Amino acid sequence: MKQYLAIEPWRIVEKKYYPDYNEISESVFSIGNGKMGQRANFEEDFSGNTLQGNYLAGIYYPDKTRVGWWKNGYPDYFAKVLNAVNWIGLNIIVDGQLLDLATVEIQSFERILDMQQGVLKRIFTVLFPKGQIIEVKATRFYSMVYDEIGALSYQVKAVNFSGKVSITSYIDFNVRNEDANYDENFWTPLYQKIDQNIAIVSAKTLKTNFQVACGISNTFFHNNRFISIESPWTEESQKNSLTADFDLKKGDSCTIHKKSCTVSSFYYSPESFNEKIHEGLATAQKLGFEGLLEKQREYWIARWKESDIVIQDDVSAQQALRFNIFQLNQTYTGVDARLNIGPKGFTGEKYGGSTYWDTEAYCIPYYLSTAPQNVSRNLLIYRYNQLDKAIENAVKLGFKRGAALFPMVTMNGEECHNEWEITFEEIHRNGAIAYAIHDYVNYTGDRQYLIDYGLEVLIAISRFWAQRFNFSEEKQQYVMLGVTGPNEYENNVNNNWYTSYIAKWCLEYTEEIISYVQKQDPLKYQEIVNKTGFDPKNELQQWHSITTNIFFPIDDKRGVFLQQENFLDKELKPANQIPLEERPISQNWSWDRILRSCFIKQADVLQGLYMFEDHFDKQTLQRNYDFYEPMTVHESSLSPCIHAILAASIGYQDKAYELFMRTARLDLDDYNNDTNEGCHITSMAGTWMAFVKGFGGIKVTDGQLYVNPFLPKKWKAYSFTIGFRAQQLNVRVTPNEVAIEKGGNDPLTIMFKGQQVTLFEGVNTFHQPITLNQE
């Protein structure tokens, strides 16, 4: 765990340069706008440790799989998000000396992520070997409003000398991914050109044939006065550069404003790239750097209104929450149903920027509450559009009659994960996709979605479950064999309680939705029956015989659901008996030892109890929590948040707080020693859930909003905002009252601490001690 970043409510600040932590900071200070994102790499030359990363959503490369032992059915590639064109590059030369923070003497250094305005800044002074001192001020952002535009302002001031400073601005498509399996270059050059002082380079991805072009324009200033640069552009392979030389007097400054416009064949035909880049840069030029910045500020003010959480007197928690929210807001904006949320977003190469079950199980609740309805709807549509591929995937694994298995990892609907125990067996992801449909409809009330899209997906997933269970003659019950649950520290187990439970729920929910659509829109129902070849009588009957007779492993003595049939054969002991130097066990123990141990990577039975909390009484939650949490090592970033929510629900408030803090500051404090590879974006939605669902006690059951907050002992007050059914609610919790401010004219009836109350426009105050969970 590292605590090198200053604690402030709205900013992340690195107050001095930490060379050993540079790659961590590059991840933490990342910027993005939903369509593009980049690590906080330095603009100027840098010979120290760095992971260069500028990523474009949807643009990927199918990197040929590397596996030790090939299994039939493995996908032959892993989809990787690509490090794309570097448009930020600058060479700064001061009286013949190159600025490189790894070689010059750094006198002061600040790197700032201003989350209120959505910008990355650096301010530093350095001393060159010949005695010159310069001060640099750099500000950079990806525009949220013009989502093809990047903007950079970079100023160099001559602090103690008069002399020559030159700024070379370049655009460079000679970029690679560090995680290439066979050290291949994923890009092949297309063209480069200079057109009306805009430098453009273009390349295309091998195999996937995505074409990308990026153009840059530069504006230079001497002491903030515009100057025109006549020098020509220099062309090298896949790189164009332009140099501006300045004679500075002591105290003078020179500045470059650099703008980029990146376009791709994901959105445009390559013939129109030139025109689109010129249009984009003309808009950027017209507004100027300051104008673009102003638009950026306005955007973020509005976005924070929908999604901010305020904690009184705990700046560390405050900063962490805002950091999580900020990263989520800049990773996914919901403008395009072909895009999704990679576990590392735009902050690193690991996990390939691909889609995991994380989206449905963790991210959708966040966007449901903090963004317009179409944002989470687009995440559902993403899977709907990939249904055919999920059916093909199931066929490859031997399933029939329109059964679908959505991939564990995907970019385009095809499975690209290849560890057999996960690819073939971690099938609970199918359940999360169905659950997300339910979650969305329950939260928004948009039942039309079920008719237009949802039912088809539900039928296909249910067919998969119906074929995946088999009847055990021995048990005279349906069983599900060869499964990996969310706890990846047990593989190939039989009757994983969570997977069987979500499968059962899914079959029953699909049946319910079938009768809803049949009644509501018989024509559309018939259309779906025809399209899917659904045989209502026989299939429903088969589903029914399964759901009424599934084998669930249960320990009657302890009154707990068993993670899998043989769980009790394990040597059961709490995780706090593992010596600290052996943690995390994933990095210190052999794999077989982990598999044989009772230690749990992330919520498994408890994942089910969290998702289906209303199906169980408090004592059941508590017994299972008390049994499993002590054995849980939380070595997935997705783990603490679910436990925090359950702990809050049971009334373990201190534990809820502890787990919340662990999830909230995971990346800022580099808790798992891996932030250098990128931030844990999808678990950030878990942080939000731990707060709003855990502390705020927000849930929606049968379309009704429940608010059941408590105030952790360490806090004096907090408030958060959620949108619910076109209404905006701000919930403020203090020791003796809860005030819910409601926008919009229509009254809203909710369940507040177990009682039905109606909220009216304005502030609705409830006076009562709220330190205890009372429902």
Residues found near ligand BGC in the complex (CB under 6 A): 343, 351, 356-358, 486, 488, 601-602, 636, 638, 682
Closer to ligand BGC by Cβ: residue 141 or 367: 367
Q: How far is the CB of 584 from ligand BGC (least distance, A)?
A: 11
CB of 331: closest distance to ligand BGC in angstroms?
13
- Compute φ and ψ for 516, nearest 5 degrees: -65, -50
In single-letter form, the type of residue at position 723 comes to G
DSSP strands (E only) in 543-646: 554-555, 560-561
User: Of 353 and 697, which CB lies nearer to ligand BGC in the complex structure?
Assistant: 353
Closest residue to ligand BGC, Cβ-based? Answer: 343
Largest CA distance in the chain: 90
Q: What is the DSSP letter of 472?
A: E
473 is catalytic: no
- Shortest reach from residue 732's CB to ligand BGC, in Å: 33
Rounded Cα–Cα distance for residues 193 and 190 (Å): 10
What b/e readout covers 739-769, taking b as 16+ CB neighbours within 10 angstroms? bbbbeeeeebebbbbeeeeebeeeebebeee
How far is it, in rounded angstroms, from Cα 248 to Cα 161?
8
85 or 684, CB closer to ligand BGC?
A: 684
Alpha-carbon distance of 452 to 459, in angstroms, equals: 13
Least Cβ distance, residue 83 to ligand BGC (angstroms): 20
**Hey, which bits of 8-103 come out as E strands?**
11-14, 31-32, 36-38, 54-56, 60-64, 77-81, 90-94, 97-98
Q: How far apart are CA 624 and CA 226, in angstroms?
A: 68
Tell me the residue length of the chain: 775
By beta-carbon proximity to ligand BGC, the closer residue of 343 and 353 is: 343
Considering the complex, state which of residue 636 and residue 649 has its C-beta at the smaller distance from ligand BGC: 636
118 versus 678: smaller Cβ distance to ligand BGC: 678
Contact between 203 and 173 under an 8 Å Cβ cutoff? The reply is yes
**Single-letter residue type at 622:** Q
Among residues 114 and 490, whose Cβ is nearest to ligand BGC? 490
**Distance separating alpha carbons of residues 775 and 772, to the nearest angstrom:** 9
From the list 680, 585, 583, 594, the residue with the least C-alpha distance to 641 is 680
Active-site annotation holder among 23, 43, 415, 488: 488
Task: Give the shortest CB-646-to-ligand BGC separation in angstroms.
Answer: 17
Measured in whole angstroms, the distance separating CA 561 from the mean position of its chain's CA atoms is 31
* Sequence letter at residue 533: G
Structure tokens at 233: 């552009």
DSSP-derived secondary structure letter, 110: E
Give 120 or 638: the residue with its C-beta nearer to ligand BGC. Answer: 638
Q: Where are the alpha helices (DSSP H) in 410-493?
A: 420-423, 428-444, 448-449, 455-468
Smallest distance from ligand BGC to CB 393, Å: 17
CA distance 752 to 501: 29
Measured from the CB atom, is 202 or 410 closer to ligand BGC? 410
CA distance linking residue 717 with residue 739, whole number of Å? 11
Closest by Cα among 690, 677, 575, 679 to 635: 575
403-to-457, 462, 463, 539 alpha-carbon distances in Å: 10, 7, 5, 12
- At 201 the three-state DSSP class reads strand
d(CA 422, CA 19): 37
Give the span between the Cα atoms of 10 and 392, in whole angstroms. 47
User: To the nearest whole angstrom, how small is the minimum distance from the Cβ of residue 486 to ligand BGC?
Assistant: 6
> Which residue, 382 or 710, is less far from ligand BGC as judged by CB?
382
DSSP summary character for residue 716? S
Enclosing H/E stretch for 515? helix 497-520
| Residues carrying an active site annotation | 488
